[in-house]
Structures are given as C-alpha cells and as structure tokens.
Amino acid sequence: MPDDTTILGLPLILAAQAQKHVTHNEALAMLDVAVQLAVINRDQTTPPALAVPGDRHIVAPGGLVEWAGQDGKIAVMTETGWQFTAPLPGWRAHILAEGATAAFNGLAWVTPSQGPGLFAQLGVSATPDATNRLSVTSPAVLLNHAGAGHQLKINKAAAGDTASLLFQTGFSGRAEMGTAGSNDFSIKVSADGATWNTAFTAAAATGEITLPQPLHLGGQVSDPASPANGTVWLNTTTGEVRLRAVGATVTLGAGGTLGPADFWLVARFGSASATVGPFAGTAISSGTNSTAIPTAALNGLNPFGVFLRSSAAANSGYRYCTSAASDYFGVASRKFRGKCLWRATASNTVRLGFHNATTNTDSDNGAYFEIVADQVSAKTAANSVRTTHGTTYTLTANAHYTFDIEVDAAAAAARFRLYENANATPVLDVSITTNLPTTGADAFGAGVVATNAATTASDLIVLYEMGIGTVAAWRRAAG
C-alpha cells in the first residue's frame, strides 16, 4: 500500500501506525491549502513582512529570501513559518488582488485573459446566434491600442463577397460602407432598408473617386483666408462656387435660364470711334480720346484700347456712356463690367458703372465706382441722396483693373468688386443696400466719365472694354 494519495499526495494512515493523528492532521493541513484555493496575489517575489497565519500567495518568478526556489508554488503562512505546496496542472486559484481566477498549466498560472480563448458563440449583455456569433448590447464599444496603432480587420473570401460596416435603424439597414460585391470601396445609403443609393465609390485599381449623385457643397459665408490649390467651396453670401488653381481663386460661371428681359451688351475699344457698341463717346469741355497709348501703359494684358485725356481746361475730360436716363433697378438684375488701365494722375475724378453723370459733378442716381486721385470707393445714389461705402482701395499706376457691379433683381443690394491685373480674387468686394434708384423718376445710364480738375492736359485712363446687361445673360456669355 502506498504512503500517499495518487493525486494530491496526501499522507495515508498505515496499518498499526502509531500517532495516527499526526498523519491525519498533516493531510487536513494540505487540504486546507488546496481546497477552495484563493490567494492574495501572484506578483510578489519576497514574503510580506506582516503576513499572518492562513495568508496564501503564489510565488512570482524569481522568489527571494524564504521564497527562493519556490517559484509558482503556493506559499502559506503557518504558525511555524512559510510552507509551500507545488500545484498540479489544472489547479485553479482565485487571485483576490485581481478579481480573476488563474489556472496552472504545468509551467505558470494563467488567467483566461492571458491565454487563447475559443468560443463558439459569445454574448456581452446579449444573446448570440448562429449568424451573429458575437453579440454586444452596450452604450459604446472601445477598441483601444496596445501601445501604438490599432486596426479593425474585416476579411472576406473573394472579391465578389462583402466586407462592410452596416448601420441600422430598428435592425433595418440605412447606411453601408466597405467593399460590397467587388474590391471597390463604396458608401451606400437607404431610406427604407430595401432601396439603396450609392453616394461614393473609390476604384480599387486607380483610386479614382466617383460620385453617382449630385454633389451639394454646404458652403460658408466668406471665402477661406488662404485656400490651397485644388480647394473648392460655396460662398453662401454670393451663391457662387469657387475653386483655387495656380494661386488664383476662380469663380465658376452659371448661365442659368435666360428670360425675355435678359441681355448682355459688350463693347471692346480699339479705335477712337465716337460710338462703340451701346456707348457714345463725348468730349467733356475740350478733352480727347486717342489710340496712341503710351508705351508705359502697355502691360501685356491688352495691346489695344482708347486713351482718355483731359485738356488744359479745368474739369475737362472724356466719357463713353449710354443715355443718361435709360434704366433703373428693380425690374431685372443688372450687371456692369469695365476694364481699364489706371494712369494715376493727380486731380482725377473718374466714375464707372450705372450713373447719370456727364461731367465731374457727382451722379444723382445709380450704383458706381468713384475714383478721386488714386482712391476708389463704391457709391449709390437715388434722387441725389448718396451712400458711400467706408472701404476704399488705392489704385496703382499702369495696373489693369476690372470694375464689376451686380444688382439683384429685387434691387436689395448692389455688390461692387474690383480686380487687379490677372488676379481672380477681388481686391475690393463690398455691398451697399441703401439709396438704390428703383423708379423711372430716378433713371440713369451706364459707362465711364473721366475728368481732371487741373489746367494741364493729363492722362486719365486707358479704356479696354465695357459691358452692361443682366447677371444671368453675362454668366451665360462668360460660360
């Protein structure tokens, strides 16, 4: 008969053994350690100084002092000191400090979280099934990194299969993103879980983006401060779509539907003719016009144009205008665009846009740019009551400028934009909402009036082009 039990190695009482209680008590002490095993911790290598009888620990690797050479064993404090029990594979111990149960695998104590866990189905506050083998009911799910990055991998067997994230409402699909039916990445949405619309596709072979549905830009009230090339945005204040290319901001034209009131008349000035398109040329006092443009005024943007000059008479000059009482606002939108080169002569007064001015005297009615010396400002006038916008701009000699005015059909506002040389971003962009003439009694014409108060013949401007009409017709013409 053996002296010990096969599994736990408990001492057996032998036949005719003296002091049987000693063997019996020894076996009970060993059972006291192993049965319902719970230890304080498993991460200490040195015995705690204040241990009391009954304290149990699993000796961590590298045991010291009394625990030296006892790695992995169960250490129990007794009345006579530390005693050690070697575990067998399969033993389980509840680690009080961790709130977890560890099992001895023959080499080390391992909790379920430290070893591979294989589950046919797993539910976290939810019931899994044959399809949804992992099911979680929770306000949120956190997938955290383990010291660096983190990837969530969704693998499929073949290109024609689906690897996707499906978003549902009441267990009915509403949005899906992933590779569904091909290796191209797509985003789809549905209002009812039955009919799906593809909003976005990225080709796996090229990365090319396809937007099957119209793209709606949310927009912003003003242009971005420093947009990078390739930026596209909607300016909700103007309703214009703009993009940045080659360091310049381009406004996309929109032709719209032309109505019976829409028109666009444009005149290009290349001769000293008295009539150019809808504009009639007239000397103010003894001013002149000429195509003999000074070499310094040729900046490569337009080699042709008409040179407007004053004479030695005070307040003389030249103008190209339509009839001074041929239009008013509030019937349809209105557009004026004039292109000229500034000569920066002192004592100049130049007005461009919608106005009824015929001399250096200010306009009674209209919406126009006024240049005094080299300062340009935006103005409106109705029955001689005027509004001048507080923002001005200083013109540069021999620079090319485009003066642009738009008034909406309701005549609620006049927008003034000034462009310098080839820059597509305006250097001046302001709006005025007051003193806009909207009755026939406050009619005006359109064009340019250039004068000089000095008594010496002076260069005024080089006029290249002027156009008038409606906003829709201009946009259709501009493309």
Domains, the chain: 36-114 (no CATH), 165-215 (no CATH), 216-252 (no CATH), 264-478 (2.60.120.200)
- What is the pLDDT at residue 120? 86
Burial class (CB in 10 A: 0-12, 13-18, 19+), 297: middle
Residue 370: CB atoms within 10 A of its CB come to 22
Phi then psi for residue 79, to 5 deg, are: -60, -25
Query: Residue by residue, what is the 3-state secondary structure of the chain?
Result: CCCECCCCCCECCCCCCCCHHHHHHHHHHHHHHHCCCEECCCCECCCCCCCCCCCEEEECCCCCHHHCCCCCCEEEEECCEEEEECCCCCCEEEECCCCEEEEECCCCEECHHHCCCCCCCEEECCCCCCCCCEEECCCCCCCCCCCCCCCCCCCCCCCCCEEEEEEEECCEEEEEEEEECCCCEEEEEECCCCCEEEEEEECCCCCCEECCCCCCCCCECCCCCCCCCCCEEEECCCCEEEEEECCEEEECCCCCCCCCCCCEEEEECCCCCCEECCEEEEEECCCEEECCCCHHHCCCCCCCCEEEECCCCCCEEEEEECCCCCECCCCCCEEEEEEEEECCCCCEEEEEEEECCCCCCCCCCEEEEEEECCEEEEEEEECCEEEEEEEEEECCCCCEEEEEEEECCCCCCEEEEEEECCCCCCCEEEEECCCCCCCHHHCEEEEEEEEECCCCCCEEEEEEEEEEECHHHHHHHHC
Burial class (CB in 10 A: 0-12, 13-18, 19+), 64: middle
**Rounded Cα distance, 234 and 217, in Å:** 6
Q: For residue 317, what are the CA distances in angstroms to 97, 232, 251, 373, 410? A: 98, 44, 35, 14, 35
Residue 460, sorted as left (phi over 0), alpha (psi -120 to 50) or beta, turns out to be alpha
Phi then psi for residue 289, to 5 deg, are: -130, 150
- Provide Rg for the chain, Cα atoms: 45
- What is the pLDDT at residue 144? 95
Q: For residue 348, what are the CA distances in angstroms to 316, 345, 381? A: 10, 6, 21
Q: Smallest Cα–Cα separation from 461: which of 409, 399, 416, 408?
A: 399
Cβ atoms 329, 411 nearer than 8 A: yes
Q: What angle do CA 341, 289, 294 make, to 5 degrees?
A: 50
- What is the pLDDT at residue 36? 75
- What is the pLDDT at residue 304? 80
Cβ atoms 440, 382 nearer than 8 A: no
- Cα 313 to chain centroid, rounded: 59
Q: Which strand ranges, in their side-by-side order, compose the sheet holding 375-382?
A: 275-276, 279-284, 316-321, 445-452, 348-355, 366-372, 375-382, 385-394
For every one of its 479 residues, what pLDDT tens digit does the chain have, with 9 covering 90 and above? 566 555 555 666 766 677 766 666 666 666 656 677 889 999 999 999 999 988 999 999 999 999 999 999 999 888 889 989 889 898 899 999 999 899 999 999 998 777 676 778 989 999 999 999 999 999 999 999 999 999 999 999 999 999 999 999 999 999 999 999 999 999 999 999 999 999 999 999 999 999 999 999 988 898 898 899 999 999 888 777 888 887 877 776 555 667 788 899 999 998 888 899 999 999 999 999 998 877 766 665 667 889 999 999 999 999 999 999 999 999 999 999 999 999 877 899 999 999 999 999 999 999 999 999 999 999 999 999 999 999 999 999 889 999 999 999 999 999 999 999 988 899 999 999 999 999 999 999 999 999 999 999 998 999 999 999 999 899 888 76
- What is the pLDDT at residue 239? 79
- What is the pLDDT at residue 294? 72
- What is the pLDDT at residue 353? 98
- Polymer length in residues for the chain: 479
User: What is the model's pTM?
Assistant: 0.56
